[in-house]
C-alpha cells in the first residue's frame, strides 16, 4: 500500500468520530478560521452570485457547511457546491449531513471535472495529506476559471522562535495524539496528524508551489499564534 492509500485508509477508519475530534482538538477555534476564510474569499471575489464552488479533501463536508452559512450571512448566492475526496468513509458521513450536495470520490491531483468550470476551489486542513501536491495545484489551475480563487486553510510549519511556538508544539505532539486517540480509538491517526505538519512546508514554499502552477497568492494570513494559515491565490 502506497503512502496516499495509507492516508485514505486511515481517514476511512476515523470517519465516524472525525467531526467531534476536530472540534475538541481545535477547541472550536477552527470555526473562526473557516469563517474568516469564507468571508475573505467572498470579499476578494466580489460577486453576489457564484456558479460553482469545489471543496477538495472535503471529508465529512465541514467546510461546505461553512461556505453555505457564510454565503447566507453575506447575501451571496452559490448555485452549486461539489465535495471531492478519496475517502469514501468520510464522504458517507458528509452525505448524511448534506444530502443535497454532490460528492465525488477522487484525489486532488486527478479530479473528474471539466476545465475552467469552478469559481472557487477550497481545501481546508487537507493539502498536507496530498502526496502529489504540485500536481494537485496544476489540477486546481486547470479546473478553475480565469481569476478564480484557490482557498487553502492549513497548519503550516513555522520556526520555533517564541515560547508560544513551543507550547503549540507540545500540544500538537503530546496532547493531541492522546485526546484524538481517546475519541477515535485510533491513536496512530492522531499521531500522524502532527507528524504531517512537522514534515510539511513553510508558508513561503507553499506560495512558491502555487505560483509554479499559475496561481498567484493574493492574501496570506496566519491565525492563533501561527497555528493555522490562510492562503488565497488567484488563477492568472
Q: What is the pLDDT of residue 16?
A: 67
- The correct answer on CATH 3.40.50.150 for the domain covering 3-8+28-161+202-235 is yes
Q: What is the mean pLDDT of the chain?
A: 85
Residue 53 is predicted with a pLDDT of: 98
Confidence of residue 128 (pLDDT cuts 50, 70, 90): confident
Q: Is the pLDDT of residue 151 over 70?
A: yes
Q: Are 41 and 232 in contact (CB under 8 A)?
A: yes
Give pLDDT, residue 65: 96
Which pLDDT tens digit goes with each residue over 36-60? Answer: 999 999 999 999 999 999 999 999 9
- Distance between CA atoms of residues 127 and 135, nearest Å: 12
Which pLDDT belongs to residue 41? Answer: 98
With a CB cutoff of 8 Å and minimum separation 6, the contacts of 69 are: 35, 38
The answer to whether 140 touches 118, Cβ cutoff 8 Å, is no
**Global confidence as pTM:** 0.81
Predicted pLDDT at 102: 97
Mean pLDDT lowest among 47-61, 91-105, 165-179, 216-230: 165-179
Which of 95-99, 201-205, 217-221 bottoms out in mean pLDDT, i.e. has the lowest? 201-205
Mean pLDDT computed over 140-150 = 98
pLDDT tens-digit profile of 82-93? 999 998 998 999
pLDDT for 2 equals 81
Displacement of CA 131 from its chain's centroid (Å)? 14
pLDDT tops 70 at residue 75: yes
State the Cα torsion 87-113-196-165 to the nearest 10°.
Answer: -120
The pLDDT, as a whole number, for residue 225 is: 72
Does residue 9 surpass a pLDDT of 60?
Answer: yes
Question: What pLDDT, on the 0 to 100 scale, is given for residue 27?
Answer: 66
Q: What mean pLDDT do residues 111-132 have?
A: 93
Top mean-pLDDT range of 88-92, 117-121, 126-130? 117-121
pLDDT at 155: 78
In the chain, where are the structural domains located?
3-8+28-161+202-235
Q: Which of 141, 108, 116 is nearest to 52 (CA)?
A: 116
Query: Tell me, what's the pLDDT at 126?
Result: 85
Find the helix or strand (DSSP H, E) in which 166 lies. helix 163-170
pLDDT at 216 > cutoff 70: yes
Amino acid at each position: 500500500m502506497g503512502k496516499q492509500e495509507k492516508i485514505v485508509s486511515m481517514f476511512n477508519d476515523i470517519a465516524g468520530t472525525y467531526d467531534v475530534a476536530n472540534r475538541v482538538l481545535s477547541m472550536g477555534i477552527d470555526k473562526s478560521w473557516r469563517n474568516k476564510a469564507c468571508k475573505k474569499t467572498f470579499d476578494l471575489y466580489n460577486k453576489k452570485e457564484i456558479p460553482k464552488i469545489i471543496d477538495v479533501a472535503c471529508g465529512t463536508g465541514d467546510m461546505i457547511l461553512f461556505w453555505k452559512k457564510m454565503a447566507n450571512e453575506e447575501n451571496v448566492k452559490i448555485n452549486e457546491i461539489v465535495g471531492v475526496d478519496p475517502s469514501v468513509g468520510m464522504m458517507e458521513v458528509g452525505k448524511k449531513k448534506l444530502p443535497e450536495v454532490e460528492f465525488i470520490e477522487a484525489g486532488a491531483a486527478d479530479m473528474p471535472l471539466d476545465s475552467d468550470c469552478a469559481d472557487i476551489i477550497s481545501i481546508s486542513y487537507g493539502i498536507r495529506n496530498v502526496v502529489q501536491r504540485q500536481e494537485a495545484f496544476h489540477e486546481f489551475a486547470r479546473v478553475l476559471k480565469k481569476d478564480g480563487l484557490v482557498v487553502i486553510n492549513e497548519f503550516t510549519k513555522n520556526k520555533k522562535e517564541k515560547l508560544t511556538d513551543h507550547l503549540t508544539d507540545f500540544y500538537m505532539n503530546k496532547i493531541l495524539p492522546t485526546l484524538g486517540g481517546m475519541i477515535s480509538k485510533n491513536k496512530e491517526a492522531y499521531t500522524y496528524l502532527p507528524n504531517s505538519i512537522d514534515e510539511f512546508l513553510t508558508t513561503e514554499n507553499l506560495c512558491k508551489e502555487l505560483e509554479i502552477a499559475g496561481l498567484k497568492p493574493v492574501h496570506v494570513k496566519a491565525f492563533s499564534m501561527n497555528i493555522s494559515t490562510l492562503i488565497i491565490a488567484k488563477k492568472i
